[in-house]
Chains A and B, each alone.
Chain A
Amino acid sequence: MYEFNYDKANSAADAASKLAASDDGKVLAGGQTLIPTMKQRLAAPEDVIDLASAGLSGIAVDGDIVVIGAMTTHATVASSSDVQSVIPALAELAGNIGDNQVRTRGTIGGSIANNDPAADYPAACMGLGATIITTKRGLSAEEFFTGLFETALDEDEIITAVKFPKVDSANYQKFPNPASRYALAGVFVAKTGSEVRVAVTGAGNDGVFRAHKLEEALAANFSADVVDISPMPEDSMIEDLHASAAYRKNLIGVMTKRAVQAC
């Protein structure tokens, strides 16, 4: 790991101003991606600003909305009785991210700010229609996730919380890479009234995306039988040593069917 300066932020605003003052700064949330990346020298920020003392951790329920602070760990979300009762699929998703040790440190804000194309939380944000609250504004998941490891965050903008609306039913199914446990394909299905949202992670070239054709078919008839992935363009899928594009595309169909059946 290359050398860097370390600083603690005592609030989100403090972190944002420290970030703005740095030429090449990074905020440190749970560190479960940033630190391995820095160890590999794939990232070498000049300044690391630790959010641990910024007061961004915690879960609150406001009517039918679950508000999760950006620094809340996966383990906390998974074991939260509030999340379990309002959006059980979200608690279950959090409980299957990485391994136990990743879950005790890794945070929701860190996960979505990184927007790894195979991360789980982006699928939940997109599938549930979450609002990402930052130091500057509120963004819909569609506005927030802009591409592979890319988000709409400005250089000096920090996620403070994520708001998830309650849905009638939801389920997340993923096919984890046997070695890394990251999703080769993960599908989050959410149903509210006659609206159905289907968000896919792990498979798309541009990261998480909504499968609109599947949504339309499922809105008309919420049954695994109507899941047809054949119109999906195969060249929009990730192709790498872990799985071919065709395999990933097929997994989307299988995971969607499983999620619909479990809804």
Chain B
Amino acid sequence: MVKISMTVNGKNVEGEVSPRTLLVEFIREHLKLTGTHVGCDTSQCGACVIHVDGDSAKSCTMLAVQADGSNIITIEGLANGEEMHPMQAAFKENHGLQCGFCTPGMVMSAIDLANKNGDLTEELVREGLEGNICRCTGYHNIVKSVLDGANAMKAAE
């Protein structure tokens, strides 16, 4: 077992894990933050996307030990109390989801995209969400949500 510590959603957390524990398992099973989802076994679906030191990453494709000492944000770390993050609010407003299973990953990827691009276009959003698979919506409302959410994030700066 290996001792690890990291900052998750602004709080210091510690744990003792087997090296083979995936970061997403640590987040869901040790920290009980079950908003981060696991939608596949093959690192393809993006439901588990979180932010690691400011970059979006698939938490199913990282070992928990690799995240030792890093700063992690999960979907639970976005809202300010009862007030949703602008990207979450945009997904709600634009009906950017149906079953909602992929949504945590979509929102985390979308925020990273908005943070790293000046002006998002539909093309950039569609390319940028390549690593996130939704099996319900056909992506149309997701793209609308991300564009709206990015604008709202900029307006809130």
Instruction: Check if B42 is an interface residue, CB within 8 A of chain A.
Output: yes
Query: Please, which residues of chain A bring their CB within 8 A of the CB of B43?
Result: 32, 35-36, 39
Query: Please, which residues of chain B bring their CB within 8 A of the CB of A32?
Result: 43, 61
CB pair A100 B131 closer than 8 Å? yes
Interface extent on A, as a size class? 20 to 34
Knowing A6-B63, A105-B62 are in contact, say whether A100-B20 is a contact too (CB < 8 A): no
In the complex, what residue of chain B is closest to A34 when comparing beta carbons?
B61
For the residues of B in contact with A, the DSSP-based class is mixed
Interface residue tally for chain B (C-beta within 8 Å): 28
Instruction: Check if A24 is an interface residue, CB within 8 A of chain B.
Output: no
Query: Please, which residues of chain B bring their CB within 8 A of the CB of A104?
Result: 52, 55-57
In the complex, what residue of chain B is closest to A102 when comparing beta carbons?
B131
Query: Please, which residues of chain A bring their CB within 8 A of the CB of B130?
Result: 99-100, 181
Q: Which residues of A are interface residues toward B (Cβ below 8 A)?
A: 1-6, 28, 31-32, 35-36, 38-40, 48, 50, 52, 75, 98-102, 104-105, 180-181
Q: Which residues of B are interface residues toward A (Cβ below 8 A)?
A: 2, 18-20, 22, 41-44, 46, 49, 52, 55-58, 60-63, 65-66, 109, 112-113, 128, 130-131
Contacts beyond the supplied A100-B128, A101-B57: 11 A-B pairs with Cβ under 8 Å: A36-B42, A39-B41, A39-B42, A40-B42, A48-B63, A100-B109, A100-B112, A101-B46, A101-B109, A105-B57, A105-B61
